Amino acid sequence: MAIKSWIGKASGLPSLLVDGPATITADDRVLAVVGPGQHLIADALAVPGVPTVYEGSTGRAILTRPVGDWYGVLVAGADGRSAPGLAYEHNGDPLDWDSTAARIGGVTRWAIRDEPVTGTGVVTCTPEAEPTLWETLTAHAPIMLIPTMPVPGVPPRTVIVNGVARKRVTGELIEVTIKWTEHEPRSENAPQGAVPVTTWGEWADWGEAHPDTPGWQAWSALEVAKRIQGMP
Protein backbone atom coordinates (compact mmCIF):
# COMPACT_ATOMS: atom_id res chain seq x y z
CA MET A 1 0.00 0.00 0.00
CA ALA A 2 1.26 3.49 -0.84
CA ILE A 3 1.45 6.09 1.92
CA LYS A 4 -2.02 7.41 2.71
CA SER A 5 -1.82 11.06 3.72
CA TRP A 6 -4.20 13.77 4.90
CA ILE A 7 -4.54 16.69 7.33
CA GLY A 8 -6.24 15.66 10.56
CA LYS A 9 -9.71 17.14 10.89
CA ALA A 10 -9.50 17.49 14.67
CA SER A 11 -5.73 17.78 15.11
CA GLY A 12 -4.79 19.93 12.12
CA LEU A 13 -1.65 17.80 11.80
CA PRO A 14 -0.14 16.13 8.72
CA SER A 15 -1.20 12.53 9.18
CA LEU A 16 -0.02 9.29 7.57
CA LEU A 17 -0.99 5.64 7.31
CA VAL A 18 2.11 3.67 6.35
CA ASP A 19 3.16 0.06 5.93
CA GLY A 20 6.22 -1.19 7.79
CA PRO A 21 8.92 -1.96 8.29
CA ALA A 22 10.04 1.46 7.11
CA THR A 23 11.88 4.64 7.98
CA ILE A 24 9.57 7.59 7.39
CA THR A 25 11.21 10.93 6.65
CA ALA A 26 9.80 14.45 6.63
CA ASP A 27 12.07 16.35 4.25
CA ASP A 28 15.54 15.85 5.81
CA ARG A 29 14.19 14.85 9.24
CA VAL A 30 13.56 11.26 10.31
CA LEU A 31 9.96 11.26 11.52
CA ALA A 32 9.57 7.63 12.61
CA VAL A 33 11.03 4.16 12.32
CA VAL A 34 8.26 1.55 12.30
CA GLY A 35 8.14 -2.23 12.39
CA PRO A 36 6.01 -4.61 10.33
CA GLY A 37 2.31 -3.85 9.87
CA GLN A 38 0.26 -0.71 9.40
CA HIS A 39 1.02 2.40 11.43
CA LEU A 40 -0.73 5.73 12.00
CA ILE A 41 1.65 8.68 12.44
CA ALA A 42 1.13 12.44 12.74
CA ASP A 43 3.85 15.08 12.43
CA ALA A 44 3.92 17.71 15.19
CA LEU A 45 7.09 19.44 13.93
CA ALA A 46 5.84 20.28 10.43
CA VAL A 47 6.17 23.99 9.64
CA PRO A 48 2.71 25.52 9.07
CA GLY A 49 2.22 26.84 5.55
CA VAL A 50 5.25 25.07 4.07
CA PRO A 51 4.86 21.86 2.00
CA THR A 52 6.59 18.88 3.64
CA VAL A 53 7.64 15.81 1.67
CA TYR A 54 7.03 12.50 3.46
CA GLU A 55 8.77 9.41 2.16
CA GLY A 56 8.96 5.76 3.14
CA SER A 57 9.64 2.43 1.55
CA THR A 58 6.13 2.28 0.08
CA GLY A 59 5.71 5.74 -1.35
CA ARG A 60 5.83 9.51 -1.11
CA ALA A 61 3.35 12.21 -0.11
CA ILE A 62 3.35 16.00 0.21
CA LEU A 63 1.29 17.75 2.89
CA THR A 64 1.03 21.35 4.06
CA ARG A 65 0.13 21.99 7.67
CA PRO A 66 -2.53 24.74 7.95
CA VAL A 67 -1.39 28.13 9.18
CA GLY A 68 -2.87 29.99 12.10
CA ASP A 69 -2.79 33.61 13.25
CA TRP A 70 0.38 35.55 12.43
CA TYR A 71 1.05 36.03 16.14
CA GLY A 72 0.17 32.48 17.22
CA VAL A 73 2.30 29.75 18.74
CA LEU A 74 1.73 26.10 19.60
CA VAL A 75 3.20 24.82 22.86
CA ALA A 76 2.89 21.06 22.56
CA GLY A 77 3.90 18.10 24.66
CA ALA A 78 4.40 14.46 23.80
CA ASP A 79 0.99 14.16 22.10
CA GLY A 80 1.67 17.12 19.80
CA ARG A 81 -1.37 19.08 20.98
CA SER A 82 -1.38 22.62 22.32
CA ALA A 83 -3.67 24.80 24.36
CA PRO A 84 -5.68 26.98 21.94
CA GLY A 85 -5.33 30.70 21.41
CA LEU A 86 -1.70 31.15 22.50
CA ALA A 87 0.23 34.17 21.22
CA TYR A 88 3.98 34.69 20.82
CA GLU A 89 4.98 38.07 22.20
CA HIS A 90 7.75 39.91 20.37
CA ASN A 91 10.86 39.65 22.54
CA GLY A 92 13.53 39.47 19.82
CA ASP A 93 13.79 35.66 20.06
CA PRO A 94 17.01 35.87 22.14
CA LEU A 95 19.39 32.92 21.84
CA ASP A 96 22.56 32.18 23.80
CA TRP A 97 25.42 29.77 23.25
CA ASP A 98 28.46 29.05 25.43
CA SER A 99 31.61 27.85 23.65
CA THR A 100 32.89 26.29 26.93
CA ALA A 101 36.36 27.53 25.95
CA ALA A 102 38.88 27.29 28.79
CA ARG A 103 42.26 29.03 28.70
CA ILE A 104 45.03 27.36 30.69
CA GLY A 105 48.65 28.40 30.47
CA GLY A 106 48.11 30.32 27.26
CA VAL A 107 46.37 27.35 25.60
CA THR A 108 42.68 27.44 24.68
CA ARG A 109 40.73 24.20 24.95
CA TRP A 110 37.14 23.43 23.99
CA ALA A 111 34.83 20.71 25.20
CA ILE A 112 34.55 17.63 22.98
CA ARG A 113 30.83 18.30 22.57
CA ASP A 114 29.26 21.73 22.14
CA GLU A 115 26.73 22.98 24.63
CA PRO A 116 23.16 23.32 23.28
CA VAL A 117 21.62 26.68 22.49
CA THR A 118 19.44 28.30 25.14
CA GLY A 119 16.69 30.85 24.67
CA THR A 120 13.65 32.61 26.05
CA GLY A 121 10.13 32.84 24.67
CA VAL A 122 7.20 34.89 25.90
CA VAL A 123 3.68 33.52 25.43
CA THR A 124 0.34 35.05 26.35
CA CYS A 125 -2.85 33.13 27.00
CA THR A 126 -6.32 33.46 28.49
CA PRO A 127 -7.09 32.21 32.01
CA GLU A 128 -9.07 29.35 30.42
CA ALA A 129 -6.02 28.12 28.46
CA GLU A 130 -3.54 28.52 31.32
CA PRO A 131 -4.08 25.12 33.04
CA THR A 132 -3.38 23.22 29.80
CA LEU A 133 -0.35 25.38 29.04
CA TRP A 134 0.99 24.95 32.56
CA GLU A 135 0.51 21.19 32.42
CA THR A 136 2.59 21.04 29.23
CA LEU A 137 5.36 23.26 30.58
CA THR A 138 5.72 21.30 33.83
CA ALA A 139 5.57 17.81 32.31
CA HIS A 140 9.30 17.04 32.90
CA ALA A 141 9.68 16.09 29.22
CA PRO A 142 10.71 17.83 25.99
CA ILE A 143 8.12 20.18 24.51
CA MET A 144 7.66 21.74 21.08
CA LEU A 145 7.42 25.48 20.35
CA ILE A 146 5.94 26.03 16.89
CA PRO A 147 4.94 29.40 15.36
CA THR A 148 1.58 29.04 13.62
CA MET A 149 2.91 30.79 10.52
CA PRO A 150 6.36 30.61 8.89
CA VAL A 151 8.71 33.02 10.68
CA PRO A 152 12.21 33.43 9.18
CA GLY A 153 14.79 32.45 11.78
CA VAL A 154 12.22 31.00 14.19
CA PRO A 155 11.74 27.34 13.26
CA PRO A 156 9.73 24.76 15.18
CA ARG A 157 11.86 23.82 18.18
CA THR A 158 12.01 20.90 20.55
CA VAL A 159 13.24 22.19 23.89
CA ILE A 160 13.74 21.36 27.55
CA VAL A 161 12.03 23.83 29.89
CA ASN A 162 14.51 25.30 32.37
CA GLY A 163 12.08 27.60 34.12
CA VAL A 164 8.81 29.50 33.78
CA ALA A 165 7.76 32.92 35.06
CA ARG A 166 4.11 33.94 35.03
CA LYS A 167 2.28 37.21 35.55
CA ARG A 168 -1.21 38.56 34.93
CA VAL A 169 -1.17 41.41 32.40
CA THR A 170 -4.91 42.15 32.48
CA GLY A 171 -7.96 40.40 33.85
CA GLU A 172 -8.20 38.35 30.66
CA LEU A 173 -4.53 38.00 29.69
CA ILE A 174 -1.68 36.07 31.30
CA GLU A 175 1.97 36.34 30.25
CA VAL A 176 4.27 33.34 30.58
CA THR A 177 8.04 33.57 30.06
CA ILE A 178 9.67 30.27 29.13
CA LYS A 179 13.40 29.74 29.59
CA TRP A 180 14.54 26.75 27.55
CA THR A 181 17.48 24.69 26.32
CA GLU A 182 17.44 23.14 22.87
CA HIS A 183 16.71 19.40 23.07
CA GLU A 184 19.43 17.32 21.45
CA PRO A 185 18.43 13.94 19.99
CA ARG A 186 20.48 10.95 21.08
CA SER A 187 21.81 10.49 17.55
CA GLU A 188 21.87 12.44 14.30
CA ASN A 189 19.12 10.34 12.72
CA ALA A 190 16.94 9.84 15.78
CA PRO A 191 13.21 10.17 14.98
CA GLN A 192 11.67 13.54 15.82
CA GLY A 193 8.13 14.88 15.71
CA ALA A 194 6.01 11.72 15.50
CA VAL A 195 2.83 11.88 17.63
CA PRO A 196 -0.49 10.00 17.74
CA VAL A 197 -2.96 10.66 14.92
CA THR A 198 -5.81 10.75 17.46
CA THR A 199 -5.74 11.37 21.22
CA TRP A 200 -8.18 10.23 23.88
CA GLY A 201 -9.21 13.85 24.34
CA GLU A 202 -10.12 14.22 20.67
CA TRP A 203 -12.11 11.00 20.82
CA ALA A 204 -13.96 12.27 23.91
CA ASP A 205 -14.70 15.61 22.18
CA TRP A 206 -16.03 13.73 19.15
CA GLY A 207 -18.29 11.68 21.40
CA GLU A 208 -19.73 14.80 23.03
CA ALA A 209 -20.41 16.28 19.58
CA HIS A 210 -22.16 13.06 18.49
CA PRO A 211 -24.56 12.18 21.32
CA ASP A 212 -26.42 9.73 19.09
CA THR A 213 -23.40 7.41 19.22
CA PRO A 214 -23.59 5.89 22.73
CA GLY A 215 -20.47 5.45 24.85
CA TRP A 216 -17.05 4.19 23.86
CA GLN A 217 -17.08 1.95 20.82
CA ALA A 218 -14.89 -1.05 20.03
CA TRP A 219 -13.55 0.62 16.90
CA SER A 220 -10.20 -0.14 15.34
CA ALA A 221 -7.55 2.59 15.23
CA LEU A 222 -8.28 2.98 11.52
CA GLU A 223 -11.99 3.47 12.16
CA VAL A 224 -11.22 6.08 14.82
CA ALA A 225 -8.91 7.91 12.40
CA LYS A 226 -11.64 7.91 9.73
CA ARG A 227 -14.37 9.19 12.02
CA ILE A 228 -12.40 11.73 14.08
CA GLN A 229 -9.55 12.82 11.82
CA GLY A 230 -11.21 12.38 8.43
CA MET A 231 -8.80 9.76 7.12
CA PRO A 232 -9.77 9.03 3.50
User: Can you give the pTM of this predicted structure?
Assistant: 0.90
Alpha helices in 35-139 (DSSP H): 130-137
Report how many domains make up the chain: 1
DSSP symbol at 65: P
Reported as half-sphere exposure (CB side, CA atoms, 13 A), residue 150 has a value of: 8
Q: What's the length of the chain? A: 232
* Cβ atoms of 82 and 76 closer than 8 Å: yes
**21-60 pLDDT tens trace:** 999 999 999 999 999 999 999 999 999 999 999 998 878 9
Residue 147 has pLDDT above 80, yes or no: yes
Q: What is the pLDDT of residue 75?
A: 98
Q: Could you tell me the residue range of the domain that residue 205 belongs to?
A: 4-229
Task: Tell me how many degrees the CA angle 46-74-132 measures, rounded to the nearest 5.
Answer: 135
The pLDDT score that the predictor gives to residue 107 is 83
| Contact present, 30 and 192 (Cβ < 8 Å) | yes
pLDDT of 108 reads: 82
Query: What is the Cα–Cα distance from 207 to 228, expressed in whole angstroms?
Result: 9
> So what's the pLDDT on residue 99?
83
Q: Are the CB atoms for 42 and 8 separated by under 8 Å?
A: yes
pLDDT of the residue at 57: 81
Alpha helices in 106-185 (DSSP H): 130-137
CA 193/CA 30 separation, integer angstroms: 8
Encode pLDDT of 113-143 as tens digits: 778 999 999 999 999 999 999 999 999 999 9
Predicted pLDDT of residue 215: 61
Q: Name which residue leads in pLDDT, 8 or 205.
A: 8
